[in-house]
Structure 1
Amino acid sequence: MAMPHYESETYKQDLAVFRIRKLNAPWREITHLGERKVLPRHHELGNPEGETFFFLNRGSLRLSCIAEDGQERVVMIMEEGVIFGEITFMHKSSVHFHSLRTLSECEVFIFPNTLLDDVGFCLQYPHLILNLVRSLGVKAGAFFSQIYDSNLLDARGQICRMLSHIWREQGKAEAVNPDLSQIDMANILGIHRSSVCRVIRELRDEGVIGRFSKTRLEVLDPETLMEHGEMLCILPSE
């Protein structure tokens, strides 16, 4: 059986967060095997136990990692046509906590995780299993990219990379609407708010950026901004 055709853009890096959609669209053909449920906006799924996995048929979800001190970092936005909860079934951890919160009203189909162990199901729907393997690879790549940014870029590098991304995505105008506050940036990047404020202040003093608010970002020296966003944090030799 031939693999189904995929749309050209099923995932992309949006700021420091990966956004995926329609990555598992072929699974719509078996929604009749699942339990349909509608989740309201801002619904918290918490840390699922791995007894079920989900197909998001409509709406969007935010996946965050939760540190021991309660700090939250947003790592992925999932939109329609995406499976979630399958990694918890395949990889169990009692110390790694995450949160799934709906960003809009969501329609999901809930499947028992035993489906993924059912040889008969795998033989009947081999294209869905191949699709699931492919999507796990995409997610692994997204997580690796974020680990790379977190460990090889210092706070300044991460912030400059995010600001330059916003600037490029919005047409490279001198003033753009980031729709992102400094607090939002701190949560997304997993950087303390005081560090974000310090870097933003330094960039203003250096003339790299001007005003930065949730509705307005002024980029005065885009070349320097992009240069800092690509600079790796090199540890000094002892």
Structure 2
Amino acid sequence: MPVTTLSERRPSRPLPGFMPFAVPVVQGETDVESPVWKEIRREGTRLVFRAGTFIDLSGEHLLDMYCLEKGSVRIVFDTLEGRQRALMTFEPGGIFNLACALTQKDASGQYQCVRNSVIWRVPGTVLKDENGVTACPALAAYALRQMGTVALIHSTFLSDMLMDDFVIRFCRYLLSLATRHDDVEFPLGITQERCAAMLGVHRATLCRAIQYLKKNGVIECFRRGRVHILDPAGLRALAGM
């Protein structure tokens, strides 16, 4: 297979802003003798990139998928403030630009090599129809699993983006309960699952908010039988009141 080495570009400057949750990592099969990698090497073109390089996906390769053999690649987006924020990192075994290959449609975002990387570019047409899938069954099944992982990460990330707003709303809810009971310690009276449904979020989002308040010493517990607010003033501050 041909080898292409792209010129190094200047890495983006690190984002100084607040990132409430760690950037998720996608990785997978690393055994180059596995059926998946045999199909990748058969169908793909081996590319070598230096750390800091932005991978050019324009032109005829816009809708291809890229399988990472070695190194690390991250997706970065430009914010409205003109800064760059990392959304996801791919480690060996990960496949990126997969959504574009599966849908044959373009998407936003840039791919930057965090470390020196070896990547196999596989034509997106491999997954375009039944003939391509039949020719590469191991790769097709693997790509679907990878896409499921990425979809789950995106779903969680969207929930996390709303976390700041929810923490404010949750704090105001706690204050309303404390006012109703005229105390900083009282029974919740419902399960956390029911509470999350009432507040319009997944239970996982509620649990992260609870842990956040516990970590910052605002509450001691939040259970069906007992809620205990340790720092009412801190709770009011977080609620913006």
- TM normalised by structure 1 equals 0.54
Distance 2:162 2:108 in 1: 20
Q: Which residue of 2 aligns with 1:126?
A: 137
Structure 1: tracts of 5 or more residues without a match? 1-13, 158-220
- The reply to whether residue 114 of structure 1 matches residue 91 of structure 2 is no
- Decide whether the 8 Å contact of 1:24 with 1:135 is kept in 2: no
Q: Which residue of 2 aligns with 1:61?
A: 73
**Looking at CA atoms only, which structure, 1 or 2, has the larger radius of gyration?**
2
Candidates 65, 90, 104, aligned match of 1:78: 90
Look up the equivalent residue of 2:105 and give its one-letter code: K
Q: Which residue of 2 aligns with 1:194?
A: none
| 1:27–1:38 Cα change, 3 Å | same
Look up the equivalent residue of 1:51 and give its one-letter code: L
Candidates 13, 16, 28, aligned match of 1:22: 28
Q: Which residue of 2 aligns with 1:138?
A: 149
C-alpha deviation, 1:88, in angstroms = 2.4
- Cα root mean square deviation, aligned: 3.5
SS at match of 2:216: helix
- The reply to whether residue 43 of structure 1 matches residue 53 of structure 2 is yes
- The reply to whether residue 225 of structure 1 matches residue 216 of structure 2 is yes
Distance 1:15 1:33 in 2: 37
Distance 1:155 1:71 in 2: 25
Q: Which residue of 2 aligns with 1:105?
A: 116
Distance 1:226 1:135 in 2: 39
Distance 2:75 2:42 in 1: 26
| 1:133–1:24 Cα change, 3 Å | farther
C-alpha deviation, 1:45, in angstroms = 1.7
Distance 1:67 1:20 in 2: 22
C-alpha deviation, 1:68, in angstroms = 4.8
- TM normalised by structure 2 equals 0.53
Look up the equivalent residue of 1:140 and give its one-letter code: A
The percent of aligned pairs where both chains have the same amino acid is 19
Q: Which residue of 1 aligns with 2:11?
A: none
1:34-78, CA deviations, whole angstroms, 9 ceiling, x for partnerless residues? 111111110012564623221111100111222354232211110
Distance 1:60 1:46 in 2: 16
- Decide whether the 8 Å contact of 1:47 with 1:97 is kept in 2: no
Q: Which runs of 4+ in 1 moved over 4 A?
A: 23-26, 46-49, 154-157
Look up the equivalent residue of 2:216 and give its one-letter code: L
| 1:135–1:75 Cα change, 3 Å | same
Structure 2: tracts of 5 or more residues without a match? 1-19, 169-211, 223-238
Distance 1:91 1:118 in 2: 11
Distance 1:124 1:227 in 2: 58
